[in-house]
Amino acid sequence: MKLVRRVAAAGCTLALALGGVVALAPAASATPQGCFYYVLENKPDADAQVAEDACLLGAAGGQQAFQSCYHLLREDYVPAVIAGNACRKAAEQ
């Protein structure tokens, strides 16, 4: 009988965990998060703190925010195309 309870508990835990992942998936593409994950997916060795700071700068939108975001990522040797796309993602609404 204990085995049945353990299997049921494991199944419920798994369902809750998967539900949480599905619920959080849309948030991953939100403004600065989308930028951050884009950088780390395309350049895994990028400094996570630099990527986060750059994406937060870029989230303000506008030319100055884009340039600040782009410049910070380029200083960390993120390729130009990845930096540009990431900074555009940061400013998306």
9-18 tens-digit pLDDT? 555 565 555 5
Q: Is residue 9 part of a domain?
A: no
Domain count, the chain: 1
Q: Is residue 15 part of a domain?
A: no
Q: Is residue 10 part of a domain?
A: no
Q: How far is CA 17 from each of CA 13, 20, 22, 30, 43, rounded to the nearest angstrom?
A: 6, 5, 9, 21, 28
The string of pLDDT tens digits covering residues 23-49 is: 444 444 447 999 999 999 999 999 999
Q: Is residue 80 part of a domain?
A: yes
The confidence score (pLDDT) of residue 23 equals 43
Q: Is residue 33 part of a domain?
A: yes
Confidence of residue 7 (pLDDT cuts 50, 70, 90): low
Residue 81 is part of which domain span? 27-91
Q: Is residue 51 part of a domain?
A: yes
Confidence of residue 3 (pLDDT cuts 50, 70, 90): low
Q: State the average pLDDT over residues 41-61.
A: 95
